[in-house]
Amino acid sequence: MDELRSALSEIGMANGIALELDDAGACDLETADGGVVHVQYRANLEELDFVAPLGAVPDAAEQGVYRELLAANFYWRETVGATLSYSVELDQVVLAYPLNVAVVDRKEIEVVFTSFMELRSNWIQRLADLIADEVEEGDDAGELIVENLDAGSEMVRV
């Protein structure tokens, strides 16, 4: 775990953030857009999990948005190894990526971290666009607050 902590600290410094696991093996990163990425080390699995809430889906858009998310999730077709899910606790769509740290080095952890952050930004924008499209098609448009973020990258599932 000390080697992992050191690697994460170096990755954090290289990206201008504090990426320091607490005693429970977790940390929450505040992003420039006001979001949060939860990082959790699960020692029993030798796995480092990256989890990011992407946003809530209004009732009027649920059917179409969730259909699109399921299609994107199919064999990680549009998530490059990460998984889109619905968190009951947060009432939001979340993006998650588990990394087996037993078989990767510091550089690979950095690539996955950077790619996850870019993928998160991409999916926040895509989710906002999907919601806007679904709400426009419905009778009750309501008001949407969307974030404009640019990103896109590839990740490798290890």
CATH of the domain at 100: 3.30.1460.10
pTM score, two decimals?
0.82
Count up the domains in the chain and report the number: 1
pLDDT of residue 155: 46
Note whether residue 18 is domain-resident: no
Does 9 map to a domain? no
Phi, psi of 60 (to 5 degrees): -65, -20
- 145 domain-assigned: no
> Which residues of the chain are modeled with pLDDT < 70?
138-158
Q: Which amino acid is at 120?
A: R
What residues make up the domain containing 52?
30-137
Domain assignment of residue 2, yes or no: no
The secondary structure of residue 78, as a DSSP letter, is T
Look at residue 147 in the predicted model and tell me its pLDDT. Answer: 38
Residue at 76 is within a domain: yes
